[in-house]
Chains A and B, each alone.
Chain A
Amino acid sequence: SAVISQKPSRDICQRGTSLTIQCQVDSQVTMMFWYRQQPGQSLTLIATANQGSEATYESGFVIDKFPISRPNLTFSTLTVSNMSPEDSSIYLCSVKGLAGLDTQYFGPGTRLTVL
């Protein structure tokens, strides 16, 4: 499996500000995803990060709130914009395509608290 790193690992932010989370993979991958895990909940897919084009968002998530970039096959960013306390969650980067599209691996997550 690949080594997936995320920065920052955690942050405490003020309401109304924005935070950009970085995801770096140590090898090229076909697909990259961003998930949210609210406290005590399961993982919810936010979007698929597409290289060189706009991300594909799931129902309930919009680009203005969660802009995503993927400039190459090993790196992606997720921005949480105009944050509110409801955005307090763990945000996870995930990848597929190291050896086919059959298994998905996850980064360590970014724990975000919004005051």
Chain B
Amino acid sequence: AQKVTQAQTEISVVEKEDVTLDCVYETRDTTYYLFWYKQPPSGELVFLIRRNSFDEQNEISGRYSWNFQKSTSSFNFTITASQVVDSAVYFCALSERTGGFKTIFGAGTRLFVKA
């Protein structure tokens, strides 16, 4: 069965600090996708990144970077030089082939960035 664990419930940082959001997943499938979504206070879910199980290359997009490590079943998300606009709930999610590619979500990490 698929499972996503985000152990950090809330994180509070001061603007310009770097912050890493942890995500650990469980799956028995060899073909799966991992995602990060952002949910700002307005409520909409914003897609940030997708990674498939065959591509462990880390990715950087501006101030955002992602570290995918199959050996530890982790897909961590780092925000560099955080800004107040980064304040949101961040969800890690998993979609596996044997589950019909339906996506399940972790509990989410609420990030507060203070000015």
For the complex, give the distance between the alpha carbons of A31 and B65 in Å: 29
For the complex, give the distance between the alpha carbons of A111 and B101 in Å: 26
Chain A positions 39-98 with a Cβ under 8 Å from a chain B Cβ: 41-45, 48, 90, 92, 94, 96
Check if B45 sits within 8 Å of A106, measured CB to CB: yes
| 23 CB < 8 A contacts A-B | A31-B102, A42-B91, A42-B108, A43-B45, A44-B105, A45-B102, A45-B103, A48-B102, A90-B43, A92-B45, A96-B101, A101-B101, A102-B95, A102-B101, A103-B33, A103-B47, A104-B35, A104-B95, A106-B44, A106-B45, A108-B43, A109-B43, A111-B43
Q: Could you say which residues of chain A place their CB within 8 Å of the CB of B13?
A: none
Q: A94-B103, A106-B37, A106-B44 are in contact. List 11 more A-B contacts (CB 8 A).
A: A42-B91, A43-B45, A43-B91, A48-B100, A102-B33, A102-B101, A103-B33, A103-B47, A106-B45, A109-B43, A111-B43
Majority secondary structure, A binding face: strand
Q: Tell me whether A1 is interfacial, beta carbon within 8 Å.
A: yes
For the complex, give the distance between the alpha carbons of A52 and B39 in Å: 32
Q: Could you say which residues of chain B place their CB within 8 Å of the CB of A106?
A: 37, 44-45, 47
Check if B105 sits within 8 Å of A42, measured CB to CB: yes
Check if B102 sits within 8 Å of A33, measured CB to CB: yes
Chain B positions 32-62 with a Cβ under 8 Å from a chain A Cβ: 33, 35, 37, 43-45, 47, 50, 52
Check if B44 sits within 8 Å of A108, measured CB to CB: yes
CB distance from A59 to the nearest CB of B (A): 11
Residue of A nearest to B106 (CB): A42
Ranked 4 nearest A-B pairs via Cβ: A106-B45, A43-B105, A101-B101, A42-B107
Q: Could you say which residues of chain B place their CB within 8 Å of the CB of A48?
A: 100, 102
Residue of B nearest to A58 (CB): B102
CB distance from B61 to the nearest CB of A (A): 15
